[in-house]
Structure 1
Amino acid sequence: MSSDNIHAHYADHLRTAMQRADTALARGGFDHLVIPSGTLHYQAFDDRDYPYAVNPNFKFWLPLTNAPGSWLVYTPGQKPRLIFLQPHDYWHVVPSDPSGAWVEHFDIVVIRTADEALQHLPDASARTAILGEPQSALGNVIPNNPQAVLAYLDFHRAFKTPYEVAMIRLATRRGVRGHRAAERAFRAGASEFGIHLAYCQAVGQDSAELPYGNIIGLNEHGAVLHYMDRDRVPPRPSRSLLIDAGASHNGYACDITRTYSATNDDFQSMINAVDMAQRAMCDQVRNGTDYRQIHLDAHLALGRILKDFGVTTVDAETAVETGVTSAFFPHGIGHGIGLQVHDVAGFAETDAGGTLDKPDGHPYLRMTRVLAPGMVVTIEPGIYFIDMLLNELKDKGLAGSIDWAKVEAFKPYGGIRIEDEVVCTDDAPINITRETWSEIA
């Protein structure tokens, strides 16, 4: 997409942001919207700060991801204002002047100290919705996070504008390059830490810039869902790699997972089967589909794969009913994605509030909404060989549902997860991950 097209999409995106803010403020009875970019968090009993993370409500409006101490002010009918903190500092790099085509859409005020922002923020007596964390408070400007405003804005953030989809695509281009480099490093015999470095180099981002910590598990480590230890020495032999890693672009995230076997063995055949099933699940991302149903259907599909490979001795329907599939697939099928890896309002019933419950027996599903055009979600089925969960099946009297010799044969490989980002449209879904992978390949 050309820069001119992105700029046009951004202008439309900003209009959407203002329209949503107008409605949200009216719902809550407020006259102004104020969003702090956030401030640095310091470690306890120390003077060192954690990596800065911008307020997602702030970066929804403009592509500034490293501007602590700044503020966005919007009053319906007026041009949005950016109060940009550019301190005098010789200890750290001072943020550059705001630049890019987006700046023409804002009144920009540059301040040199955090307290100067008070001169440009709405008066404390004004009816102002302030969206931020408590430590962003400045004088009597204190985040109040009104429920009516947040409920409306969070609910509608699920519906991505064309600009947002473009940003996710650009993040995905980075992520796919990283995943291809990671596979090459794995096949060359690298350690988990070495694969991580190869990934970051290809993406062009270090750990603090990535949207989440890379999950890079060789062999049995692939069975730890959020494994992040990254051994410095490769195992011998190096049988398998599970890598769950993303990238960022202008504040938007991608989230991709792939699994590889070192050889064309039975584990690779199981990976191929999960991959084929995952593609079918991605095709379910259609207008009007309940996301919960995709999750439940995934259990049946994975139950069939487990039976086909002789891991389970019962049919898929029985494996689902008795909870056997949950021992092999213990997490949810995915989540919304955008400004945050696990985007907000996954359980929102309406834009006024309320919660859509998770299916019974599936506590880790991160989204329960009905899909509609503009939503971007991940689809990430998995099969893992986790001792703790398998032992629970024995305790429940379900040992006969498992061929334990098959389990022992697959356990040294850890597990399988395949994850793509998919856009719901008025027609067929768009698999951003697969499309980007094909383009780069």
Structure 2
Amino acid sequence: MIDTLAALYPQHLATLRERTDTALARGGFDHLVVPAGRPITKFLDDLDYPFIVNPHFKHWLPLTDAPGSWLVYTPGEKPKLIFLQPRDYWHVVPEAPTGYWVDDFDIVIVRKPADAIAELPSGTARSAIIGDDHCALQDVRPNNPQAVIDHLHYHRAYKTPYELELMREANRRGTRGHRAAEQAFRAGESEFGIHMAYLKTVVQTDAELPYASIVSLNEHGAVLHYTNFDRSAPARGRSFLIDAGASASGYASDITRTYASADAGEFQALIDSVDVAQRGFVARVRAGQSYPELHVHAHHVLAGVLREHGFIRMSAESAVESGVTSAFLPHGLGHGIGMQVHDVGGFQASETGGTIARPEGHPFLRLTRRLETGMVVTIEPGIYFIDMLLAELKNKPFAGDIDWAKVDSFRQYGGIRIEDDVVCTDGEPENLTRDAFAQL
């Protein structure tokens, strides 16, 4: 894989330089300055939260654990990495940078955070400094100019071949963890035990994963962001929903699968129907496809699934228009993904800003752009049995069109979600997740 990344990286860097040249010109700046970031100290404590690198920093180079370092880019010049390698006997000191990318940078090693100031462009008023408030160093403070941010965030949706290769690797790592997690579920492990099996197989700590894993047994699958990790296994594991990803040089995978116990035949049949529907949505990840329209289409298809399995008696059109499907699928069909699991720019109208509104009645959709070649999105439909939302349906005029006995019998399973990471190409979509599962 290293040889592949080495071959792809120069073109990736050239793309970033081109995008940045345009962004700086539009904003009226001479330099891009990107701090990697610094650890944040916990309130009333002398310990830090796990370090999370600035995504604008790791976009340029595969360094995710370089706190106190800085990237400087001036159009027409070689980018500079100011690398903090402190004198420290309390912690592991980062080794000097090596690898396929180092020849593309002027690298300056500093021993103290303040030493970086002398290496930054003079006159920071001419610099677009992108970061959060914790990145400030004396008088050098992020200004995050909107014109620069808008251009860079809009174009981040289009992944370079280098980025796609890292996302393939993130999916390979994640799918290995998912297989281990399924085996742990079948063996009767607790949620905590399943999570430990996942981490061991992925070979990443919780802090290194792109997001907090969702590991839910039985009715816990109805909690969309369930991260409690019960330490004791239930008396009977009827169902298992896992939403967990992995990282590769800062790029994320986001994968969800749902499993049924051997004796949960009806629930398995519902999983199978959602899986067929999900594959159909994936097939529509094509250039020119409006993502909001795909989301609404998914509601109509899942309404048919609910009707086929006897949960509702109304038409698919009525189920969507009345909001019934939103009670069973209260989240969006998916989102952009890349360096961040919910990547930026999902609502931008153009490279100069603006917002594309969500469709009415769908407030939690995270992506409203039209799909184009190079974009990577998740496709994650679901059907859930959430007590709060179902209670609201019971007070609606159409409540008689819902088979409440059937619904109640499925509360014990929590819910279903199936999620893949999918690349929009010039032709057939590339399903990073299913391809990775097929390689196991």
TM-score normalized with structure 1 length: 0.99
Secondary structure of 1:42's match?
coil
**3-state SS, counterpart of residue 101 of structure 1:** coil
1:60 equivalent in structure 2 = 59
Corresponding residue number in structure 2 for 1:376: 376
State how 1:212-291 maps to structure 2 within 5 Å: 212-263=211-262, 265-291=265-291
CA distance in 1, matches of 2:239, 2:123: 58
The one-letter code of the counterpart of 1:420 is D
State the Cα distance separating 1:409 from its structure 2 match: 1.0
User: Aligned to 1:9, what secondary structure does the other structure show?
Assistant: helix
Asked if the contact 2:53–2:66 (Cα under 8 Å) also holds between the matched residues in 1, the reply is yes
Q: CA deviation at 1:98?
A: 0.5
Q: Is this contact kept in 2: 1:255–1:419, CA < 8 A? A: yes
Partner secondary structure for residue 246 of structure 2: strand
Q: CA deviation at 1:313?
A: 1.4
| 1:338-386 C-alpha deviation (Å, 9 max, x unpaired) | 0000000000000000000000000000000000000000000000000
2:100 alignment partner in structure 1: 101
Is 2:367 aligned against 1:367? yes
- The 3-state SS of whatever aligns with 1:177 is helix
Q: Secondary structure at the match of 2:333?
A: coil
Distance 1:400 1:194 in 2: 42
Is 2:311 the counterpart of 1:346?
no
AA in 1 matched with 2:256: T
Match of 2:16 in 1: 17
* Residue matched to 1:175: 174
Gaps of 5+ in 2: none
Question: Which structure 2 residues correspond to residues 113-192 of structure 1 after superposition, within 5 A?
Answer: 113-124=112-123, 126-192=125-191
- Please give the alpha-carbon distance, in whole angstroms, between the structure 2 residues aligned to 1:324 and 1:168: 35
Report if aligned partners of 1:132, 1:143 keep a CA contact under 8 Å in 2: yes
CA contact (8 A) 1:124 1:141 kept: no
8 Å contact kept, 1:328–1:385? yes
Q: Contact 1:31–1:126 at 8 Å: present in 2 too?
A: no
CA contact 1:420–1:433 (8 Å) conserved in 2:
yes
The CA distance in 1 between the partners of 2:245 and 2:2, in whole Å, is: 23
Superposition CA RMSD, Å: 0.8
Counterpart CA distance in 2 for 1:131 and 1:398 is 51
Distance in 1 between residues matched to 2:64 and 2:307, nearest whole Å: 47
Q: CA deviation at 1:141?
A: 1.2
Q: How far did 1:394 drift?
A: 1.6
1:88 aligned partner, one-letter code? R
Aligned to 2:206: 207
Query: Tell me, what secondary structure is at the counterpart of 1:407?
Result: helix
- Give the letter aligned to residue 151 of structure 1: D
| Secondary structure of residue in 2 paired with 1:143 | coil
What is the aligned partner in structure 1 of residue 436 from structure 2? 436
Aligned partners of 1:259 and 1:418 also within 8 Å: yes
Supply the distance in 2 between the matched residues of 1:94 and 1:247 (Cα, whole angstroms).
25
Distance apart, 1:125 and its partner CA: 5.0
Letter in 1 for 2:319: A
Q: How far does the alpha carbon of each residue in 1:371-405 deviate from its partner, in whole angstroms, 9 at most, with x for none?
A: 00000000000000001001111223331121011
Which residue does 2:357 correspond to in 1? Answer: 357
| C-alpha separation in 1, matches of 2:125 and 2:14 | 24
Task: Indicate the SS of the match to 2:26.
Answer: helix
SS in 1 for 2:89: coil
User: What CA deviation, in whole Å up to 9, does each residue of 1:180-220 have, x standing for no partner?
Assistant: 00000000000000000000001000101100001000000
1:316 offset after TM fit, Å? Answer: 1.1
Question: How many Å separate the matches in 2 of 1:15 and 1:125?
Answer: 25
SS at match of 2:34: strand
Q: CA deviation at 1:297?
A: 0.6
Q: What residue in structure 1 maps to residue 297 of structure 2?
A: 297
User: Sequence identity of aligned pairs in percent?
Assistant: 61
- Greater displacement, 45-54 / 364-373: 45-54
Aligned to 1:50: 49
Residue aligned with 1:243, SS: strand
1:126 Cα deviation from its structure 2 partner: 4.8
SS of 1:185 mapped into structure 2:
helix
Q: Structure 2: how far apart are the matches of 1:129 and 1:238?
A: 53
Q: For 1:65-98, what per-residue CA distance to the aligned partner results, in whole angstroms no more than 9, with x for missing partners? A: 0000000000000000000001000111111110
The separation in 2 between residues aligned to 1:270 and 1:201, in whole angstroms, is 31
CA distance in 1, matches of 2:232, 2:134: 41
Question: Cα distance 1:125–1:419, how it changes in 2: closer, same or farther (>3 A)?
Answer: closer
Opposite residue 355 of structure 1, the aligned amino acid is T
Which residue identity does 1:91 align to in structure 2?
A: W
Secondary structure in 1 matching 2:108: strand
User: Is 1:131–1:143's contact at 8 Å kept on the other side of the alignment?
Assistant: yes
Contact 1:124–1:140 (CA under 8 A) maintained in structure 2: no
Q: Using the alignment, how far apart are the partners of 2:195 and 2:112 within structure 1?
A: 38
**Counterparts of 1:129 and 1:166, CA distance in 2:** 29
1:258-288 per-residue CA deviation (whole Å, 9 max, x = no partner) reads: 0000125000000000001000000110000
Q: Aligned pair 1:82/2:77, yes or no?
A: no
Letter in 2 for 1:386: I
User: 1:401 — aligned with what?
Assistant: 401
Conserved 8 A contact 1:337-1:377: yes
Counterpart Cα distance in 2 of 1:125 and 1:207: 37
The number of aligned residues is 439
Shift of residue 42 of structure 1?
Answer: 1.1
Question: Does the CA-based 8 Å contact 1:336-1:376 persist in structure 2?
Answer: yes
Q: Is the 8 A contact 1:192 1:217 kept in 2?
A: yes
Q: Contact 1:84–1:111 (CA<8 Å) still a contact in 2?
A: yes
Q: Which amino acid aligns with 2:205?
A: D
Q: Which runs of 5+ in 1 are unaligned?
A: none
Larger deviation, residues 386-395 vs 27-36: 386-395
